[in-house]
Structure 1
Amino acid sequence: MKLVGMLDSPFVRRSFITARMLGIPFEHQSLSVFRHFDAFHALNPLVKAPTLVLDDGGTMVDSSQIIAWFEHLAGPGKSLLPAEPADLQRCLQLTGWGLAAAEKSVQRYYETAVRPRDVRSPDWLERVTGQIRDTYAMIERHVGDADWLCGARPTQADITVAVAWRFTRFTAPGLVDDSDYPHLSALATRAEGLPAFRAADFP
C-alpha cells in the first residue's frame, strides 16, 4: 500500500502515525495537492490528501476511513480504540474534537495563506479563530492528569489531538499559547516523543 500526501497535513500525518503504531506496512509518497497537482491527479483524480493506494490499485480517501481500514488490517489486540464502552465513547469524543480543531485550522490556513488578501473575509477569519480556541479549551478541560487521554497507552484520541495541536502551532504561531492549555501542551509533547510521531516529523 502507498499513503500519498504531505506530512504537514494533519490528516495525512494522523494516517501515517496510525499505520506505524498499528504495525501496518506501507510506502509513503510525499505529493502536494498544490505543487504536484498533475502527479497527484494521475494517482487519484480527486486530488485529495491523504490518498491510500491499495495493493489492487484502488484508492481510498478521508483519513478516518483510511484509519478504519488500518484498524481492520491490524487485527485483534492491536486496536488504537479502547474496548471498554465508556473509554471508547471518550476516545471517539476527543478524536472528533481533535478533528474539528484540525479542520478549522486548515480553513484558517487557506484563508490567510492561500486566498488572495483582497478577497479574504475578516468575519470568517475571526469566527474560525474563535472556534479553534474554543475547541482546544474544551479539550484542555478533558485532558486530566494521566499521561494519555483514554487509558494507560496512547489511543487514536491522543494521535488526533496531538497532530491537530502541532498543525495549529505550525500554521498559526502565537494563536494558541502553551500557558493557556498546559495539559494539552504536555500531552502533545509526550506524543511527539513517540517513535511513530518522530517518523512523521516535518520541518
Structure 2
Amino acid sequence: MKLIGLLDSPFVRRSFITARTLGIPFEHQTLSVFRNFDEFHAINPLVKAPTLVFDDGELMVDSSQIIAWLEHIAGPGKSLWPTDPSAYRRCLQLVSLGLAAAEKSVHRVYEMKVRAAEYRDPDWLQRVEGQIADTYALLEGHLGDSEWLCGDRVTQADITVAVAWRFTHFSAPGLLADSEHPRLAALSAAAEALPAFIAADYS
C-alpha cells in the first residue's frame, strides 16, 4: 500500500499520521500535484493528494475516506475514535472544524501562491482569512484543559486539529497568534512531539 502526496498538505499529513499511529505499514511517495503533475497523473488521472494506491493497483482519494479504510483494517482495539456516543460526537465535531480550517487555509495558499498577483481578489482573501480566524476561535472555545481533546488518549480529533493548526502557521505566518489560542498552541506542541508527527515533519 502506498500513500502519495507531500506532507505539507494537511490532508496527506493527517492520513500519514493516522496510518503510523494505527501501526499500519505503508510506503510514502512524495509527489507534488504541481511540480510532479505528469508523474502523478500517470498514477492517478485525478492528480489529487492524498492518493492511496492499494497493492492490487486500485486507488482511493480523499483523506477522510482513506482514514476510514485505515480504521477498518487496523484491527480491534486500535481505533482513533471514541466508543462513547457523546465523546464520538465531540470528536466528529472537532474533526469537522479542523478540516474546515485546513480547507480554508489551502484556499488562502492558492490565492496567494498559485494565482498571479494581478488577478488576486482582496475581498475574497479577506473573507477566507476571516473564516480561518473564526474557525480557530470556535475550536479554541471548545477545547478544555486536558491534554487531549476527546479523552485521555490521542484521537482523530487531535490529529486533524493539530495538523490544521501547524499548516495554517506554516502557510500563513503571523495570521494567528499562539497567545490568542493558548489551548490550540498547547495541543499542537503535545501532538508534534509524538513519534507519528515527527515522522511526518516538514519545513
Query: TM-score higher than 0.5 here?
Result: yes
Which letter does structure 2 place at the counterpart of 1:73? I
Does 1:124 find its partner at 2:124? yes
Provide the secondary structure at the position in 1 that maps to 2:60.
Answer: strand
Per-residue CA deviations over 1:123-181 (Å, capped at 9, x if unaligned) read 11000000000000000011110000000001000000000000000000000000110
**Aligned twin of 2:71:** 71
CA distance in 1, matches of 2:43, 2:143: 39
**Aligned twin of 2:23:** 23
**Aligned twin of 2:134:** 134
**Aligned twin of 1:33:** 33
**Aligned twin of 2:149:** 149
Residue 189 (structure 1) shift: 0.5
Which letter does structure 2 place at the counterpart of 1:180? E
Does 1:53 find its partner at 2:61? no
Alignment of 1:88-127 (within 5 A): 88-127=88-127
**Aligned twin of 1:199:** 199
**Aligned twin of 1:10:** 10
CA distance in 1, matches of 2:22, 2:138: 28
TM-score, structure 2 normalization: 0.99
CA distance in 2, matches of 1:34, 1:11: 16
Per-residue CA deviations over 1:102-129 (Å, capped at 9, x if unaligned) read 0000000100111001111111100000
Which letter does structure 2 place at the counterpart of 1:98? G
Residue 71 (structure 1) shift: 0.2
Which letter does structure 2 place at the counterpart of 1:26? F
Q: CA RMSD in A?
A: 0.4
CA distance in 2, matches of 1:97, 1:154: 17
Provide the secondary structure at the position in 2 that maps to 1:110.
Answer: helix
Per-residue CA deviations over 1:47-93 (Å, capped at 9, x if unaligned) read 00000000110000000000000000102110000000000000000
CA distance in 2, matches of 1:10, 1:152: 24
Residue 44 (structure 1) shift: 0.3
TM-score, structure 1 normalization: 0.99
Provide the secondary structure at the position in 2 that maps to 1:32.
Answer: coil
Number of aligned residue pairs:
203
CA distance in 2, matches of 1:44, 1:108: 25
The gaps in structure 1 that reach 5 residues or longer are none
CA distance in 2, matches of 1:172, 1:136: 14
Which letter does structure 2 place at the counterpart of 1:85? P
Structure 1 stretches (4+) deviating beyond 3 angstroms?
A: none
CA distance in 2, matches of 1:84, 1:76: 16
Percent identity between the two aligned chains:
72
